[in-house]
Structure 1
């Protein structure tokens, strides 16, 4: 929403009243500021501070020039961080802003501490907007877009670069998988982009592994769905915001979650992740991939139908943030769907879809947001048999009766989409661990004995990653995952691989390619946290 005052623009709903300076040369602008201050003072108006006493923590009520807010229609381009040198204004400005934000009192809503806490923090008592990140639902993408938008405005203010934009890290490009050099060199306190709280290999220049950055998510057609199943691009429909939920979308799962886990340190935990400067560059890329997905067309679209209950919730739910003037502001989904016309930014490039797919076709929007119908069990591990994940490939067998196998095959038939609309899923129930694991686990179907699982093979299903999952459990939610099997089963069938009986293989990955001289990865033993699964099954729903 935009509130207009003559030629001035305030983006986002504010609890206060503010007028933005015109873009004129600095000498005239200085005189203009004094005239504006005098005019406001004699009329009793103020600039920058919201109601209820929430305003600039440093007492500065001047509103800085901002090419986005001062000049409606100005569109800035977010750049690939790999195309920026150490002396580029974007990199230098980011460093300047980080130091300035870290120097602000923690109570200042624009400080590095406060902005990170909006995503998550262990600090108590919680302040306004803290711990409000959305994970595991269809709010994931919209909330983080809003979050980045206001963070970018704050950094622009303190960077000294009036057209500063967040850069993105296109780690799916094989030549760009190491952490950008400017975030690891120099590796000391003189570099605000460097933090020690990362996987040491990442700070030493190790590459993210291909499985960590694969873009199969772009082949998922529906934005959202009612099943908690990784079957949609954007996540599960829920009736109201929830800090952590289990309906993770394909993009949030891979590459988002797996990259968080691979970078390690602060990035492994949602309550500390935004303290690392690479967090914002990573999430800028996730936002870019959302735009990339949309540009592919063929049925891909954001929620837009106000008459649909699910779309309406996504479009109208309000989230709170703070802008560059420490003013409390609000945005909704319908205000951020077009980055160029609503938020005044675009991307230098978008990513194409990969050729290996696990595509889920678009389905009709649900009439309501009721609970899904019960699942029909086709095969399962023996009752009481707990599966403990290991540092070597672990395979569990799921013997399926012939009639159940026929039901699974029938679910793949084209006519099923029009008649019963049932699909086969891999169900992971009762996932637990003693402490946060430092590994992710690839999930594969019918891998031949003795063969190393390949994330680019026809056997690949999905990845179990633990980013945010501990908080989901702490909020009292069971950790159950449901992966769609339609794409994997079709690829196996096309490859002539027998699926009359099914086996599931769990393969650990750190998400990082080892550097020369690194100790070899342990191939036996128990991972950190001793992750366990109560039941593995194939279900139809």
Structure 2
């Protein structure tokens, strides 16, 4: 049996000279020639992930406007009819799993089904029967060069002069100027900071997690793969892999044109219309495979292995639909494909837990570079340390500040935990939650800071920068009658090292912690982004 190998899209310079990309373009082109209601069409597959084409759904814009598919401008020309039957829509469309521990296995099956259809079309066009989806490893290349989108996706014509199906008009990038790249630390270091400050906030730090679901000293909540959930996930926090890099890559590739228009990669209901979507998810899948290869385990609970009550189902070329479970797709060895490179990123020399213990005075600085052993088991239940008193409205104008009031009794427990921290008595982990984030502009990134002074310079901003969250799925999660019930999105950020600093500086005795949230985009918004609550939790280890 043939083993299919997924190759790096940046082979042959990432151009259409790369046969994997050239045949991908030709296969996509053939799928685009089919009608919307054909399960073998590009459009049908995009709608499996999510759609804004059926005006009778709760998430269709009212009044009609972008992101409805009929309002996608430029290339590709997106159809809005004929719709398949409602029974077919209910069976196949709007399946995407986000904010759930099914995020990784559902998307793996989705890739396999699309790849099978593309391979069949490529073979019919005279292409190789060994073709496989390439992956876009935006963490690769000298000085992070591969963070740029492969040139095959920005070329308007194929070598034969016909339109390039990989070219998309509505991609605007992190600077909203059509320059598509992912701001990884290596890219930012190699390409400077102009014109807007960037933080290299798209990282592969999640690859150092050792729990799929849950938290421990190496794994911030809610875990590498996401929280336990059913098919309807109702705005649960995104797993560490899904939050970063997945969500941020979607939002940065999409970018903004002007409100309310944004790039199609930034919204789950339009993202799979963009051919680069599948190369991004191929890389996410590659990273999951690499994480497993390093000895990290997937869940063993039957609820994960057998999947939710609502089945995962995909159309397949010239055969019956494929129904699959997470357990059936968790191992590449049984799926007949491999990756050109599935190497794990190098771990930092300094152990993060050791760094915390050094800062707290529990061990000497020389031990910072000595790996500390710990048992990879879930931490104890989290306890609310404090929260703000009302919704936070975030606009494009500078920083939005909020004071998170602390519960005195819980605050004393945190101070005690940090004060008595040792190798055998590990300090609490501290998490900041942005709860019930609602709005209409998916192509937005929120940057979060702790204890930022008034009018901070860029160096201070970097020092106090906690992390970024991409609002991929914001619009759909904010619709009251939609799948999320209008609860919005919820994000978790590990702020342990920042609270450690407050403790060392004797600032943790105050009755509040100052949090600043900045909207990183430059395009105007039709309405502010609302954060229902900003909260901080302690989690004993």
CA distance in 1, matches of 2:537, 2:478: 23
Structure 1, residues 123-153: CA drift from partner, whole Å, max 9, x if none? 3342531111111100000000010011111
Match of 1:198 in 2: 171
Match of 1:302 in 2: 298
Match of 2:146 in 1: 176
Structure 1, residues 424-472: CA drift from partner, whole Å, max 9, x if none? 3323234232x22532112222234443567995644343322113222
Q: Label 1:244 to 1:169 Cα distance change in 2 as closer, same or farther (>3 A).
A: farther
Q: Give the root-mean-square deviation of aligned CA atoms.
A: 3.7
Match of 2:470 in 1: 465
3-state DSSP of counterpart to 2:92: coil
Q: Label 1:389 to 1:453 Cα distance change in 2 as closer, same or farther (>3 A).
A: farther
Please list, as runs of the form range in 1=range in 2, the aligned pairs for 1:380-529 lying within 5 A after superposition: 380-381=387-388, 383-384=389-390, 386-398=392-404, 400=406, 403-411=409-417, 423-433=429-439, 435-452=440-457, 459-474=464-479, 475=482, 476-479=485-488, 481=490, 483-485=492-494, 487-489=496-498, 492=501, 498-501=507-510, 502-510=513-521, 521=522, 527-529=525-527
CA distance in 2, matches of 1:276, 1:324: 21
Would the aligned equivalents of 2:50 and 2:268 in 1 still touch at CA under 8 Å? yes
Would the aligned equivalents of 1:440 and 1:464 in 2 still touch at CA under 8 Å? yes
Would the aligned equivalents of 1:315 and 1:334 in 2 still touch at CA under 8 Å? no
TM-score (norm 2): 0.71
Please list, as runs of the form range in 1=range in 2, the aligned pairs for 1:328-339 lying within 5 A after superposition: 328-339=321-332
Instruction: Confirm whether residue 324 of structure 1 aligns to residue 314 of structure 2.
Output: no
Which has the larger displacement, 316-325 or 332-341?
316-325
Would the aligned equivalents of 2:304 and 2:326 in 1 still touch at CA under 8 Å? no
Q: Label 1:539 to 1:275 Cα distance change in 2 as closer, same or farther (>3 A).
A: same
CA distance in 2, matches of 1:176, 1:456: 27
Q: Label 1:341 to 1:438 Cα distance change in 2 as closer, same or farther (>3 A).
A: closer
Structure 1, residues 163-199: CA drift from partner, whole Å, max 9, x if none? 1111111112311122111100137971111010211
Would the aligned equivalents of 1:339 and 1:345 in 2 still touch at CA under 8 Å? yes
CA distance in 2, matches of 1:486, 1:282: 28
1:90 to 11, 17, 20: 20
Would the aligned equivalents of 1:185 and 1:194 in 2 still touch at CA under 8 Å? yes
The count of corresponding residues between Structure 1 and Structure 2 is: 441
Match of 2:98 in 1: 135
Instruction: Confirm whether residue 225 of structure 1 aligns to residue 225 of structure 2.
Output: no
Q: Label 1:399 to 1:221 Cα distance change in 2 as closer, same or farther (>3 A).
A: same
Please list, as runs of the form range in 1=range in 2, the aligned pairs for 1:162-311 lying within 5 A after superposition: 162-173=129-140, 174-186=144-156, 190-199=163-172, 204-210=178-184, 211-225=200-214, 230-238=221-229, 240-242=230-232, 245-264=235-254, 265-297=263-295, 300-303=296-299, 305=300, 308=301, 310-311=303-304
Gapped regions of structure 2 (runs ≥ 5): 55-85, 185-199, 255-262, 357-373
Would the aligned equivalents of 1:102 and 1:112 in 2 still touch at CA under 8 Å? yes
Q: What displacement does 1:206 show?
A: 4.2
Gapped regions of structure 1 (runs ≥ 5): 1-70, 367-371, 511-520
Q: Label 1:295 to 1:362 Cα distance change in 2 as closer, same or farther (>3 A).
A: farther
CA distance in 1, matches of 2:457, 2:234: 33
Would the aligned equivalents of 1:453 and 1:507 in 2 still touch at CA under 8 Å? no
Q: Label 1:385 to 1:137 Cα distance change in 2 as closer, same or farther (>3 A).
A: closer
